[in-house]
Amino acid sequence: MKFYRRWQPVNALTFDLDDTLYDNRVVIVRAEQLLLDWLEDRCEAMAAFDWSQWQVMRQRVIDENPSLIGFVTEIRRAQIVLAATLCGLHAPEARLLADDAVAFFLFERSNFTVPDEAIETLSLLASRYPLVAITNGNVDSDKLGLTPYFKQVLRAGPDGAAKPDGTLFVKAQQALAMPASDILHVGDHLKSDVRGAVLAGFKACWFNDTHQPLTTQRRASLLPDVEITHLSQLLTLTGCGAS
């Protein structure tokens, strides 16, 4: 654990979900490969698209409809509609395929088990502090068994603009009904989580499980208050102790 500012106790915590409570990179790679296989089984022409072409289609739908920014599920839906259309499907068929594909993907992207360390840490913290989740992703927190630990789960898109925009942080503060300076936000992303939290007046905890020095990180524009490499270190930081 490394401190960048003089530490003052907090009265609540907010948490990022993806890549903080679990390794989302592995989850997404698996889910996206399963989705590609699913699509190719239903539309053989989809096999012609490589990774770079999928990324071009993703950027195209965002460029054509900037209001999609922050709505990761709807970006994926529009991307698949475009791909299906390029494969020759008519608009109604493309939309139906995309709806089924998104439902399949959402199931698989939440089809994993949260590590014991994360669950144990959340359980101990929730017994002493109110917690709120703030995520830019679309994971099903109910399916993962995470929802009971949080007073509220705030999602980019439905609940406001994606981090580092301050909207979700403001809503979290309102839900916790306390000054922003009394809240510690925990997250892995130096821009979305650390910068977003600091600008919102929260204390920021950088979850650095890669053990890369802060000085080498291109996204490091604002210092966190504290850096941890294991979630269980939050128990020492907050005085919850070990179970």
Contact present, 206 and 192 (Cβ < 8 Å) = no
d(CA 101, CA 104): 5
State both tokens at 171: 């809503």
Strands across the sheet containing 226-228? 2-3, 226-228, 203-207, 183-187, 12-15, 131-135, 152-155
Beta strand segments in the chain, E? 2-3, 12-15, 131-135, 152-155, 183-187, 203-207, 226-228
Q: Is 73 exposed, middle or buried (0-12, 13-18, 19+ CB in 10 A)?
A: middle
d(CA 160, CA 149): 22
Three-state DSSP state, 101: helix
Query: CA angle, 73 as apex, 193 and 21 as ends, to 5°?
Result: 40
d(CA 83, CA 75): 12
16 classed as catalytic: yes
State both tokens at 225: 């208050």
On the CB side of 181, CA atoms within 13 Å amount to 2
Three-state DSSP state, 226: strand
Q: Annotated catalytic sites, by residue?
A: 16
